[in-house]
Amino acid sequence: MSGSKRNGAVATRGVPMRAFSKSLPMELLRAREAVMRRFRPALRVHGVTEQQWRILRALAHFGALEAGALAEATCLLAPSLSRILPDMEAKQLISRSQVDSDLRRSVISLDPKALRLIAAHAPSSEKIYDEIASTFGEERLSQLFDLLQALETCLEAEPAARATSRSKAKGRAPYRAHRQRAGAT
């Protein structure tokens, strides 16, 4: 369906919003799906799900993390993470230990089996990245990473700036300080 037909359908229905083809969340989801179609077969070969791989990647990149930080790094909701971790622990991919200062919190780290799995999967993952760069263009891929990171930074900073200006107006410290994120791809 052409873009003009899509825009026309929205206009004729009187829906006061942009065309579906111009929905940023949908375009990002479609692009993610196109990328993941390339990675899923290799993940299946190694017996891990997309979510498990994100956990492994984050722990390999950052080292041991508390559960909350791991959920944030992997864009997983805490309840989802809590359902995934026991299976990974049973497969001897990760270990969980309690934080000495607060026994309610746990730290997750990679086990040697996970390091072997990452090492085995890394060549196929890098090959897929090379294929994407070859198809899309290395410079365009680099620009895409930069643009996506800039978009995230911009959108994350806006609520923090609004909270700061509101709290200054009320004479209070900001409710939530803006946090800097380390990049992980």
Domain boundaries, the chain: 22-136, 139-177
pLDDT at 3 over 60: no
pLDDT of the residue at 99: 78
Task: Considering the domain delimited by 22-136, tell me its CATH architecture.
Answer: Orthogonal Bundle (1.10)
Q: Which of 24, 29, 42, 27 is nearest to 130 (CA)?
A: 42
pLDDT of the residue at 185: 39
Tokens coding 82 = 């809590």
pLDDT of the residue at 53: 97
Q: Which of 49, 79, 35 is nearest to 185 (CA)?
A: 35
Do the beta carbons of residue 124 and residue 42 sit within 8 Å? yes
pTM for the full predicted model: 0.76
Tokens coding 149 = 């990171």
Residue 167 or 119, more confident: 119
Residue 151 or 20, more confident: 151
- CB atoms under 10 Å from CB of 15, counted, come to 11
pLDDT at 12 over 70: no
